[in-house]
Amino acid sequence: MTSRRHFIRTSSLGALGLALNQQSLADEPDYKFKPIVLSTWRHGLAANQAAWNIINSGGTALDAVEAGVSVTESDLTNMSVGLGGRPDRDGFVTLDACIMDHLSRCGSVAFLQHIEHPIQVARKVMDQTPHVMLVGEGAYQFALESGFKRFVGEVPTAKAKAAYDEWLKKGEYQPPANVENHDTIGMVALDSHGNLSGACTTSGLGYKMHGRVGDSPIIGAGLFVDNEVGAATATGVGEMVIRIAGAHTVVELMRHGASPQQACEEAIDRIIKKHPDVADKQVGFLAINRAGHTGAFGIRKGFQYAQQAETGVGLYDATSRL
């Protein structure tokens, strides 16, 4: 770890040169951008396909990430994204999401209930209001006014309710923070126009306190995009991500010369340094830059990410510090 930090410090000028080269390459009139979609966890495979369909037909990364993560939100068997998610400790399923585009426009909703597609509401916040973030009842009212319908199915789903009833037997105050109960989808994409966008959506940590909001809807924590540099998203224990302004940190490290991989590693190291006890805790970062280079890194083994590009489709194990 120390030697890698040392590497980043001592090689920053060289890396900066590389980053600038990539940047200036990408600014050449004939430069062909290499579109790519990257998202967290296995469910990213289906989400990426929907996103790729848009990007591959010349659409924008913004439309792609919105459509991509909407697939995951609609999957009621998924217990950590959308209305199929685990409830909070009081039995309510509350959803967080945000979206950001290449113009640094962004929109976000948090603590939203009864709406199938929080990411689409976040997009409307971005497109149709002067604000960035709406929460709770206000976000719900805005969704209804914008034409979204209250979901009529059973929430929590029977599967999530059974898991919740099981959890209630012990009802431990701290939500367990292992890899099984946090599978937010964060997606970042580069389109053929050379524009980056990202989206992030989750039901949050299972059995969280009522009213708790994690990193996922927070621009700069769960997601950050700067079209001059790159895009990053996070998954895992949101509190740990917020404490280092995770996704923004990754993008800023790239701005100062780190590759996407180096930036993800440095951000994870910062989290580990600030949290002496990371036992059972997971955080993972994903990043891309405009040259289409990627990075992925977790605190511990188990963090997987899905990637789709002209070169193919895959699910990969991210490297990790532990």
Torsion angle of alpha carbons 230, 238, 322, 232, nearest 10°?
A: -10
The distance of closest approach from Cβ of residue 41 to ligand SD4 in the complex, given in angstroms and rounded to an integer, is 7
Nearer to ligand SD4, 35 or 217 (CB): 217
| Cα–Cα distance for residue pair 10/2, rounded to 1 Å | 12
* CB-count exposure of residue 259 (10 Å: 0-12, 13-18, 19+): buried
Nearer to ligand SD4, 59 or 107 (CB): 107
| Cα–Cα distance for residue pair 235/247, rounded to 1 Å | 10
The distance of closest approach from Cβ of residue 304 to ligand SD4 in the complex, given in angstroms and rounded to an integer, is 11
The distance of closest approach from Cβ of residue 192 to ligand SD4 in the complex, given in angstroms and rounded to an integer, is 29
User: Which of 184, 202, 235, 294 is labelled catalytic?
Assistant: 184
Q: Which of 214, 91, 114 is nearest to 163 (CA)?
A: 91
| Cα–Cα distance for residue pair 254/266, rounded to 1 Å | 10
- Write b or e for each residue in 275-308: b if 16 or more Cβ atoms lie within 10 A of its Cβ, otherwise e: beebeebbbbbbbbbbbbbbbbbbbbeebbbbbb
Identify whether 235 is a catalytic site residue.
no
Give the residues lining the site for ligand SD4 (CB under 6 A): 80, 182-184, 202, 204-205, 214-216, 235-238
The distance of closest approach from Cβ of residue 223 to ligand SD4 in the complex, given in angstroms and rounded to an integer, is 11
Nearer to ligand SD4, 186 or 194 (CB): 186
In angstroms, what CA-CA distances link 190 with 93, 118, 174, 185?
32, 22, 38, 17
Nearer to ligand SD4, 233 or 259 (CB): 233
Under 8 Å between Cβ of 87 and 221: no
In angstroms, what CA-CA distances link 159 with 84, 85, 93, 119?
8, 9, 13, 23
Nearer to ligand SD4, 95 or 143 (CB): 95
The distance of closest approach from Cβ of residue 33 to ligand SD4 in the complex, given in angstroms and rounded to an integer, is 29
Nearer to ligand SD4, 223 or 263 (CB): 223
Residue with tokens 């009864």: 114
The distance of closest approach from Cβ of residue 40 to ligand SD4 in the complex, given in angstroms and rounded to an integer, is 7
Q: What is the DSSP string of 184-253?
A: -EEEEEE-TTS-EEEEEEE--STTPPTT---STTSBTTTEEEETTTEEEEEEE-HHHHHHTTHHHHHHHH
Residues with a catalytic annotation lie at: 184
